Amino acid sequence: MRLGMLFASSAYVIWGLFPLYFKAVQDIPASEILMHRIVWSLGFLAIVLAWRKQWSWIGGLLRQPKVLAGFTASALLLSTNWFIYIWAVNNGRVVDASLGYFINPLVSVLLGSMLLHERLRPAQWTAVALAGAGVAWLTWQGGHLPWIGLALAISFGTYGLLRKTAALGALEGLSLETLILFPVAIGYLFMLTLDDRNAFAAASTSSRWLLAAAGPLTAIPLLMFAAAARRIPLSLLGLLQYIAPTLQLLLGVWLYHEPFGGARLAGFAMIWAALVLYSAEGLWRAWSAKPNRI
């Protein structure tokens, strides 16, 4: 249990500190950072798979076109999510990005209701409605939809929906997704090189090493998360997930001095209230489901 909590907390802290990493390489275009993240992630995952001698799953993939089609869709969603997040951080929109991961659990619940026909309980409907009111308030105050937060939440929520029914585990699934994206990534970087627009070639040595670090920085927290999910209840895992957007929000406001006035705070407060209601209802149901002990 303690080890599971340590793994989960560490994974969420790493994800929460991602703005620091992407700000450190912001002199490189977001699209190029994304391609390097794919390439270096695949390299690191290949090392992990070789160390664990975990190759048997690859052999049967060619005989399962539905599995390949499903992971192609999830790979596109994951790369879209990564690109939007990198772009948002490097364009001074860290607070907007944090919003996406605050509302992501409620988007996942709503997608489960719409696509998997899961029945929502009254408290869950109330939480979704309250979060919707918060988004509506932010839209009215800002004059436009908070598209960064919504795009991140919807892309990652849909990605999670696909992975929920996927045939492969976390390590194998991410390896397959990066393998699917690899030809596009390496082809894009090759074209940039031919056009003499490859920022990696002109970057400092530190920036090059940081881009190479995208591999372990992508894979390690995911592997820790997978290990935590096997050790602690989902209700506790669900509460710990708010570490990441909270850290992102604090970095955006206190370190990068992004605007976060009273009107914007009110919208976030409605979403936080929705999350408190959603989490409290889940914890109460988990506690009440335990057998009584003398």
What CA–CA distances, in Å, run from 17 to 139, 140, 245, 255, 262? 27, 30, 9, 12, 25
81, amino acid identity: N
**pLDDT (0 to 100) of residue 14:** 95
> Where do the structural domains in the chain lie, given as residue ranges?
2-288
**pLDDT (0 to 100) of residue 234:** 64
**pLDDT (0 to 100) of residue 238:** 73
**What does the angle CA 166 – CA 115 – CA 157 come to, to the nearest 5 degrees?**
60
**pLDDT (0 to 100) of residue 294:** 45
Residue 243 CB partners (closer than 8 Å, separation 6+): 9, 12, 13, 16
* CA 227 – CA 222 distance, rounded (Å): 9
Max Cα distance, the chain (Å): 74
Token digits for 25?
Answer: 């390489």
**pLDDT (0 to 100) of residue 217:** 93
Low-confidence ranges of the chain (pLDDT < 50): 293-294
